[in-house]
Amino acid sequence: MVPLSLTVNGKPIEVEVEARTLMVDLLRNTLGLTGTHIGCDTSQCGACVVHVNGRTIKSCSVLAVACDGEEITTIEGLACDDGRLHPMQQAFADCHGLQCGYCTPGMIMTAVAIADEEDLLEPARLREELHGNLCRCTGYQNIVKAVIAGADAMKRSG
C-alpha cells in the first residue's frame, strides 16, 4: 500500500491505496463520490473528467498515487453548500444540455474549465474543445448551448 495525501473538493484526505488504484476508483469506491462516472474505462469518453489543480484530466487514466499533494475537484465540489447549483450545472438544466445524464459530470467539469477562455467559446472552437467528451445520446446541440450560457452566467456571477 502507498500512503497518499491530497485535497478533494477542498477537504484534505489521507489514505493508503494500492499503487494500481485509478483516481476514478479512489473517488468512487474509497471516497464515495459516485458523481464521477466510468463510461468507457478506456480513456476515450470523458465521463470521468475531474480537475487536478484546476485542469481537466480523465480520472480513469491517472493513478491516484500520481496525484499526491494535488487538489482534486469533482462534480460534487461545484454546487454551493446550501444546495444551489453551480451556474454551469444550472445552464445544463435550463438548456436541456443532458438527456440520459451519463456524460454530464464530465461535460460540466470540462465546461467549467474552459468557461473563462473567451476564444474557446466560439461554437466551432467549442465543439473542437469538447472532443474529449462523448455524449452517446448525441445531444451536442444543447450541450454547446448550455456551455455558452453557463460561461456567461459564471462571468455575471463573478
Partner 1 sequence: MQNFDFHRPQTLAEAVSILAEDEGAKLLAGGQTLLPTMKQGLATPSALVALRAIPGLTGIRACDDGSLEIGAMTCHADVAASPLVQRLLPGLAALANKIADRHVRNRGTLGGSIANCDPAADYPAALLALDATIVTDRREIPADEFFAGLFTTALEDREIVTTVRFAPATRVAYAKFSSPASRYAIVGVAVAASGSAVRVAVTGAGADGLFRWEEAEAALTRDFSPEALGKFEPDPDMLNGDMHASPAYRASLTRTMTIRAVRTLLSERILD
Q: CB nearer to partner 1: give 33 or 65.
A: 65
Angle at 80 between CA 74 and CA 86, to 5 degrees: 70
Q: CB nearer to partner 1: give 49 or 148.
A: 49
Q: CB nearer to partner 1: give 13 or 85.
A: 13
Q: How far is the CB of 140 from partner 1 (least distance, A)?
A: 14
DSSP secondary structure code for residue 47 in this structure: T
Taking 3-state DSSP, the helix, strand and coil percentages for the chain, each rounded to the nearest 5, stand at 45, 15, 40
* Contact set for partner 1, span 66-95 (CB under 8 A): 66, 68
- Contact status, residue 118 vs residue 155, Cβ threshold 8 Å: no
Is 43 a residue that touches partner 1 (CB under 8 A)? yes
| Secondary element (H or E) of residue 4 | strand 2-8
Q: How far is the CB of 33 from partner 1 (least distance, A)?
A: 18
Neighbours of 11 (CB within 10 A): 10
- Residues found near partner 1 in the complex (CB under 8 A): 2, 18-20, 22, 41-44, 46, 49, 52, 55-58, 61-63, 65-66, 68, 110, 113-114, 129, 131-132
